[in-house]
């Protein structure tokens, strides 16, 4: 391979990387984050509860959803905070300490749909088996 071809390939790879990073877009996130964020293993539920409480203090609608997913004989569990932000604009987000804030498309009242969308966006394998609101 010639130096010119290698340079062109490198430029194409860099341009694609830049394009993909720009496609992620810029958005504003709520100005809160729990103090324990990501510091403890298996702490998804208390972290989600702390995040929901912090959001509610800022007058942002939030709830904690726990769900099971994967193999029905040996399911895995997870919890995350679902919230509407900015207030009054009907935009649903999901937050956990691994994925941070992810834009979701589901009805606020449908916990199973919110959990399915969150699991899909976070690349968790297997179907969502059950979802329930832990804290509103």
Q: What is the pTM of this model?
A: 0.71
Q: How many CA atoms lie within 13 A of 83 on its CB side?
A: 29
CA 84 to chain centre: 13
Task: Name which residue leads in pLDDT, 32 or 71.
Answer: 71
Range of the domain at 105: 44-135
Q: How many domains would you assign to the chain?
A: 1
27 in any annotated domain: no
- The mean-pLDDT minimum among 18-32, 42-56, 75-89 falls in 18-32
20 in any annotated domain: no
pLDDT score recorded for residue 43? 85
pLDDT score recorded for residue 22? 43
21 in any annotated domain: no
Number of Cβ atoms within 10 Å of the Cβ of 67: 23
| Distance from C-alpha of 6 to C-alpha of 36, rounded to nearest angstrom | 46
23 in any annotated domain: no
35 in any annotated domain: no
Q: How confident is the model at residue 26 (pLDDT cuts 50, 70, 90)?
A: very low
29 pLDDT more than 70: no
- % of the chain with per-residue pLDDT over 90: 41
**Encoding tokens for residue 134?**
């832990």
8 in any annotated domain: no
Rg (CA), the chain: 19
| Distance from C-alpha of 53 to C-alpha of 64, rounded to nearest angstrom | 10
Summarize pLDDT for 76-135 with one digit per residue, the tens: 899 999 999 988 888 999 998 887 899 999 999 999 999 999 999 887 767 899 999 987
116 in any annotated domain: yes
Residues 81 and 62: beta-carbon distance below 8 Å = yes
Task: Name which residue leads in pLDDT, 7 or 131.
Answer: 131
121 in any annotated domain: yes
Q: Strand runs (DSSP E) across the chain, as ranges? A: 62-69, 76-84, 92-96, 100-104, 128-135
């Amino acid at each position: 391979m010639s130096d010119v071809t290698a340079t062109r390939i490198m430029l194409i790879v860099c341009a694609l990387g830049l394009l993909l990073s720009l496609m992620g877009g810029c958005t504003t996130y709520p100005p809160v984050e729990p103090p324990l964020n990501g510091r403890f293993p298996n702490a998804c539920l208390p972290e989600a509860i702390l995040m929901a409480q912090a959001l509610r203090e800022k007058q942002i609608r939030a709830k904690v959803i726990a769900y099971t997913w994967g193999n029905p004989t040996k399911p895995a569990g997870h919890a995350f905070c679902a919230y509407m932000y900015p207030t009054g604009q009907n935009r649903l987000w999901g937050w956990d300490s691994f994925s941070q804030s992810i834009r979701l498309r589901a009805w606020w009242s449908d916990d199973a749909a919110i959990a399915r969308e969150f699991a899909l966006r976070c690349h968790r394998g297997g179907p969502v088996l059950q979802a329930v609101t832990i804290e509103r």
